[in-house]
Amino acid sequence: MANKDLVTFVKKTGIFLLPILALIIGYFYSDPFKVNHTYKAYNNQPIELNQGYISWQSFLNHRDSLKYDSFILGNSCTMAYPTTIWKSFLENANPIRLNANSESLYAIYKKIKRLDESGVYIKNVLLIIDNNTLGKVVKNTSHTRILHPDISGISETEFKKEFITAFFNPKFLIPYIDYCIFHTYRKYMRGVIMEKDDHRNQLTNDIRNPRESEIEQFERQYWVTHKKEFPARELHIDDYSQVIFNTQKKMLSEICEIFKKHKTDYQIIINPEWSQRKFNNQDLIELKNIFETDRIHNFSGKNIYTENQEYFYEKSHYRPLLGRIILQEIYTE
């Protein structure tokens, strides 16, 4: 009788554990977040990956052969500044984009420090910032934001633990399984599955927004189709609140010292926004107290750039069309 009970228990336990075991095997086999192995390229990935990890790993993959010396840092708005365009304004430069989605000042600070500590020559820097970036000064350990172990110094085990934990979260697992079975993007999958694949250059991390193809095909009709993504602007828009305080000042000052050490030709761009909300004036003063004034370029607020809807994909991101104009203005001053 006892043996029968044991057999029944094993069978029932096996039925329960088999799906979990299958998921674990599937996780390590498919490596959905692309962090368990090193890859030469990260194109054609349906999963929303950790952009900061990918960009830094691409840098590590090719730094010895390509001798990177010029760096674009910031959030997803850095896509408006492809290295191919930026390079045309530089002299004998080997640029790479070291971006991350929703990038923080903390992450930018850690990346620049790591470049310096690694003995990398920091010849040119394009620093793309906004109020949101400057307000973040603590490390983020979520799987989409956690820094590469080479930057943070955490163990590989601790780093990878965040991803396997995220994998078993129902918010990820359900849309992931749905997509694996039906290969169909659904709106509820946003943040887990990409609606369209970004076209990434494995050597420079340049990304071509898939909406650019839509604009090429439909031209001005694009902005009619996407009208809801451009909310009406208020008659009176308050400036952003101040975000640069002591912690930010310390990080920014250390970044400036590294630039001085390398005699870096750096340019700091404050993002233009469709909302036309203006960067805080006291924050602008603080930036000018730390960095050279003529290297800080504020494109926020109401101006000829934010007035033109065709410079934007939607309310949050602007196009390389505007990025080129901004670079032209900066480097011909």
For 216, counting Cβ atoms within 10 Å of its Cβ (0-12 exposed, 13-18 middle, 19+ buried), the class is: exposed
Alpha-carbon separation of residue 173 from 36, 165, 176 (angstroms): 18, 10, 5
In a domain, 24, yes or no: no
Domain containing residue 230: 31-331
Number of domains in the chain: 1
Tens digits of residue pLDDT in 49-75 = 999 999 999 999 999 999 999 999 999
33-70 burial: b if 16+ Cβ within 10 Å, else e: bbbeeeeeebeebbbbbbbbbbbbbbbebbbeeeebbb
In a domain, 4, yes or no: no
Distance of alpha carbon 213 from alpha carbon 296, whole angstroms? 32
Q: Which of 137, 143, 141, 83 is nearest to 110 (CA)?
A: 137
The predicted model scores a pTM of: 0.93
In a domain, 81, yes or no: yes
Tens digits of residue pLDDT in 99-108 = 999 999 999 9
Alpha-carbon separation of residue 304 from 75, 171, 241, 276, 324 (angstroms): 23, 42, 23, 11, 15
In a domain, 16, yes or no: no
In a domain, 137, yes or no: yes
Question: What are the beta bridge partners of residue 70?
Answer: 95, 124
- Which three-class secondary structure state does DSSP give residue 22? helix
Tens digits of residue pLDDT in 166-219 = 999 999 999 999 999 998 999 999 989 988 777 789 999 999 999 999 999 999
Section 30-42 average pLDDT: 91
In a domain, 270, yes or no: yes
In a domain, 20, yes or no: no
The confidence score (pLDDT) of residue 16 equals: 64
CA pseudo-torsion sign 244, 246, 249, 255: negative
In a domain, 101, yes or no: yes
- Which three-class secondary structure state does DSSP give residue 200? strand
